[in-house]
Structure 1
Amino acid sequence: MSDLPRRAVTRTAKLAALPLGFAGRATWSLGKRIGGYSADLVGSELQQRTADQLFRVLGELKGGAMKFGQALSVFESALPEDLAGPYRATLTKLQEAAPPLPAGTVHGVLAEALGPDWRAYFDEFEDKPSAAASIGQVHRAVWHDGREVAVKVQYPGAGEALLSDLGQLGRFALLLGPLVPGMDVKPLIAELRARVSEELDYALEAEAQRAYAREFADDPDVLVPDVVHQGEGVLVTEWMEGVPLAEVIAEGTEQERDRAGQLLARFLFSATERTGLLHADPHPGNFRLLPEGPDGTEASVERWRLGVLDFGTVDRLPEGLPPTIGSALRLALDGDAEAVYGLLREEGFVRESVELEPESVLDYLDPIIEPARVETFGFSRAWMREQAARIADPRSPAHQLGRQLNLPPSYLLIHRVTLSTIGVLCQLGASVRLRDEMADWVPGFAPSDSAGVEPPHDVADARA
C-alpha cells in the first residue's frame, strides 16, 4: 500500500473512532451513576473526556479535521469555565500548528510548482516550517531580491483529506453539538465542504490577498502582506512579524487586548465595504498584533496595528454587507418591533408560513444587539456563555423562537464570520467601541442619538 492510501485509512480510522469513544464514555457514565456518583459530577467529567478526545484527534490531523477544529475553537468562550479551562491550551494549538511535512515532501512540491531549480528563487529557505495549518504549512525564506517572505506549501492530497474528514465529521455532527452550546455544527460542516475548491485554489487566494493589500497599503491600523509569487500548490507572500492573537488572548495586557479587539472589529466591518470581500476565516491564528506604527517604528499601544493573514476563504460581496443588516439593527435599537419584523420577513429570515409576535422577535434580538447599544462594550466569556445558554436551552423562549427563524443562504457565511469574530472578542475580553465601527462601515446603520445613549458598559462586571 502506498503512503497516501495508508494515511487516508489511518485518518478515517481516527475520525471513525470518535463516535465510538463518545458511546463508550456514555456507557461509563451510566456505570458511574449506578455506582452512586451525582449526575452533575458525571456529566461534567464525561464532557471533559469527550472534548479532550475530540480536540486531541483533530489536532493530530490536518485537512478538514483541523479546519473544523479551528472553526470550532473560536466558540470555546461559550463553554462553562470549568469545562473550557482544561483544554483551552489544546484549542489554541489548533489555531496555530499541526504536525509538519518532511522536508523532502516540501521540496517536491516546490520543484513541481517552481521547477527543478526552485532554490534559485530564494537566497535562503528554512526547511523547518514556521507554522502549519489545515491544508498547508508556511516556511520562512528570503526571496532572490532580498525580501523576507512566507512560503505556503499545500499538503499533497489536501483536497481528498478535506472532503474525507468533513464527510466523516458530518456523520456524527449531532454528537458534537453539545460541546458548544447554541452552536449548530451540521451547517458549519456543510459550509466547509462547499468551499473546499476555493480553499485549495491558491490563485484565487492570491487574487483576494492582492485586493486587500492594495486597499490597506497605507492604512494606519491594518497591514496585509502583499503577494510575491503564486504557483500550483505554492503561495509566496511578504513576511510579517507580530504577536499572534492567541498570545494576546493568553498573556496580553488589558490595553493590548482592547486595542486588538478594536482593530479586529474595524477590520471586520471596514474591509468588506472597502474591498467587496469578506475575510471568512477569523480565528486567532490568522491575526497578529504589530507593536509599531505605519512607519515601522516602535509605537504606543494606541497606535499598534493588526496584521491579517490567510485569504483562502472569502465571500465575494461587491456591494458590501447587505443593508438589511444595518437597517434591522438600527430599527431594533430604536425599539421598532413592527419594522424589524417586517424587514426580517421581507428578507426571508421569517418564512411566509410562519407567524411570530414582533415584540417576541425584538426580545429575542435585544441581548444580541447589546454591544451596539452602548458606547463601549466589554466582551467577555461570561457574556458569551449567557447568550449561548439562552439560545441552547430547549426550555427557554429564545430557543423556541430561534427554531422558527430562518437563515437565508446568502447570509450563512456572514452569520458565521460575525459569530466567530464575537467569539474571538470574548476570548480577548476586549472593551470595544463597536457602535462607532458599525456607524462608519455598515450600510443602513445610523448612529443613535446621543441623548438616548446608555452609560458605557461596566467593563469590570463584564470581565467577571
Structure 2
Amino acid sequence: MADRPDRREAASITGRMRRYAQVGTTVGGLAARLAGQRYLGVAIDKDRHAGDLRAALGGLKGPLMKVAQMLSTIPEALPPEYATELAQLQSSAPPMGKPFVRRRMASELGPGWQGRFKTFDLDAAHAASLGQVHRATGPDGDLLACKLQYPNIESAVEADLQQLKVFFAVYRRYDPSINPDKIYDELAERLREELDYTREAKHIRLYEHMLAAEDAVHVPSVVPDLSTRRLLTMGWLDGKPLLSMVQAPVEVRNAIALNMFRAWYVPFYNYGVIHGDPHLGNYSIRPDNTVNLLDFGCIRVFPPVFVNGVIELYHALRTGDRDLAIAAYEGWGFEGLTSDLVDVLNEWASFVYAPLMEDRSRLIQETNSGAYGREVAGKVHAKLREKGGVTPPREFVFMDRAAIGLGSVFLHLKAEINWHQLFTELIRDFDVATLEARQGKALKAAGLSA
C-alpha cells in the first residue's frame, strides 16, 4: 500500500495550540459550571447544561464531536441527561472545497493523481468528523469510494483528547459514581487508530476473512495502489439507509435485523472481534435485504478470556449463579467488586441480556422504546454513586456500546426475532482455546498483530 513518509502531516504545535484555544474556551466554560456546583454550591440545571454542551460540541465539529457521540452510547460514561443530548449530535462536518481536495489528493498520490482514475467527483458524497468520501471510477470502470482524511486532523485529535481529559477530571470530582479513566484510555486509543487508514485497510481484510461464509454481509474491497495512510480507496457498495426500511413488511425488517446480528456477533463470538461503531451511517441495506458494512476504523480485538466472560455472565444470570457472575465480571476486567456493586452491575446486565433469556420471538425491548433503557441506566448510575462508584474496564466500553447501538437498530426496525436461539447457536461450541487459534489465524491473514 503506497504511503509517503516525507509527506505525512505531523500534529503541528501551531495547529494543536489553535485547537486548544478553540476547544478549551468551550469545554473549559462548561466544566467550570460543574465545578461551581461542586465547590461553591452554585446550582445548575443539568438538562440545560447538557443542551449547552451538545450545542457547543456540535459547533466545533471534528473529533471531539465524534468522541461525544461515542460517549452518548456508553450508558456508564455519562448521566442520562448528557447521554440523551449528545446522542443528537450528527457526525458530520463541512466538506473540504474542491481546491482543498485537489491538494490533498496530490499530497497522497502525487501531482498526476487524476490520471489514475477514469472519473473523480471533487464534491464529497459524504462528509464526517475525520474525513470525507468521494465517488470515483477506476481505470477499469469499477465504481470506487475514496475516503480522504481532513488536513491537520491529527492536531485536532490530540488537542480534543487533552480537553476531554480535563472535562472528565472535573466531572469525576462532581460525580464519583463512574471513574472514566479507562474509558478515556480506550476512546483515545481507538480514535488515534482511526487516523491510520493503512490499519483500517487491514481491518477490512480481517472482516473479509471472518465473514467469508456470511453471504448476507458485504465488505468493500480495498484498492491498495490508490490508498495511503490518509487515503483509503475501496469498491463502492450501493445500498439504502436503514431508516428507509422501517415501514417495510415485518419479514423484511426481521431479515435485516438477522443479518445485522450476524454481521456484528459472528466476528465477536468466533474471533473475539467487534465493530465498535454501529452508527446509522456505517452500514446500508441492499435490495435483497443483505447488509453492507462501510466503516472499519473503530475495530476492537478482545482477549479470548473476555469473550468467555461475556458468555459466562449469560449463564450466571440465567441460573442465578452469583459466584459465576463475579468470576465473569473479573474476566471482563472489573476490579475491587463488593457484593453491593455486583448487585448493581447485575441490574444493568439483566437489562442488556434480557432478550437472550427467553426462547421465543420477541422485540429486542418489549416496551419498544429507548426511554426505558435510559431509565434503567439512570437508576444504575444513581446506585453506583451510592455504593462508592466503579471503574469500568477498557474492554467493557465498546462491547457495551455495540450492544446498545445494535439494540437501537433493532428498535428502529421493530424486529421480532428469537434472539435466544440466535445467541445459543453462536456459542454452542464455544471454546477459549479454539477462539484463540481462530483469532490468531485471522489477525495474521489481515497483517495485524495479536
Please state which band the TM-score falls in when normalised by the shorter chain.
Answer: 0.7 to 0.9
2:255, 2:388 → 1: CA distance? 33
Identity of aligned residues (%): 28
Is the counterpart of residue 107 in structure 1 residue 102 in structure 2?
A: yes
Is the counterpart of residue 202 in structure 1 residue 197 in structure 2?
A: yes
Q: What root-mean-square deviation, in Å, do the aligned CA atoms of Structure 1 and Structure 2 show?
A: 4.2
Q: Which runs of 5+ in 2 are unaligned?
A: 1-11, 432-450
1:360, 1:288 → 2: CA distance? 39
Aligned to 2:230: 233
Cα 1:264–1:214 shift into 2, 3 Å: same
Q: Which amino acid aligns with 2:339?
A: L
1:135, 1:358 → 2: CA distance? 38
Give the structure, 1 or 2, with the largest relative contact order (CA under 8 Å, sep 6 or more): 2
Q: Which amino acid aligns with 2:234?
A: T
Cα 1:403–1:79 shift into 2, 3 Å: closer
2:203, 2:30 → 1: CA distance? 40
Is the counterpart of residue 316 in structure 1 residue 324 in structure 2?
A: no
Residues 27 and 163 in structure 2, CA contact (< 8 A), matched pair in contact too = no
Matching residue within 374, 389, 414 for 1:403: 389
Pairwise CA distance, 1:48: 4.7
2:114, 2:198 → 1: CA distance? 21
Aligned to 1:296: none
Aligned to 1:356: 339
Aligned to 2:112: 117
Matches within 5 A, 1:64-463: 64-74=63-73, 84=84, 90-91=88-89, 93-94=90-91, 97-173=92-168, 187-217=182-212, 219-229=214-224, 230-245=227-242, 247-248=243-244, 252-253=247-248, 255=250, 258-274=254-270, 277-290=273-286, 292-293=287-288, 304-317=289-302, 322-345=307-330, 348-351=333-336, 354-356=337-339, 360=343, 364=347, 365-374=349-358, 375=360, 376-379=362-365, 380-393=369-382, 396=383, 400=386, 403=389, 407-426=392-411, 430-442=415-427
Pairwise CA distance, 1:79: 8.4
Matching residue within 12, 16, 20 for 1:12: 20
2:388, 2:144 → 1: CA distance? 47
Residues 267 and 273 in structure 2, CA contact (< 8 A), matched pair in contact too = yes
Residues 332 and 362 in structure 1, CA contact (< 8 A), matched pair in contact too = no
Pairwise CA distance, 1:5: 7.4
2:185, 2:346 → 1: CA distance? 30
Cα 1:289–1:187 shift into 2, 3 Å: farther
The number of residues matched between the two structures is 409
Q: Which digits, 9 at most, give the CA deviation of each residue in 1:296-337, with x for residues without a partner?
A: xxxxxxxx1121111112223485962221122113212222
Residues 381 and 427 in structure 1, CA contact (< 8 A), matched pair in contact too = no
Pairwise CA distance, 1:424: 4.6
Q: Aligned to 1:220, what secondary structure does the other structure show?
A: coil
2:32, 2:342 → 1: CA distance? 45
Cα 1:268–1:165 shift into 2, 3 Å: same
Pairwise CA distance, 1:279: 1.5
Q: Which amino acid aligns with 1:392?
A: H
2:32, 2:302 → 1: CA distance? 46
Q: Which amino acid aligns with 1:242?
A: G
Pairwise CA distance, 1:411: 4.3
1:435, 1:177 → 2: CA distance? 38
Cα 1:283–1:72 shift into 2, 3 Å: farther
Cα 1:79–1:142 shift into 2, 3 Å: farther
Q: Which amino acid aligns with 1:13?
A: A
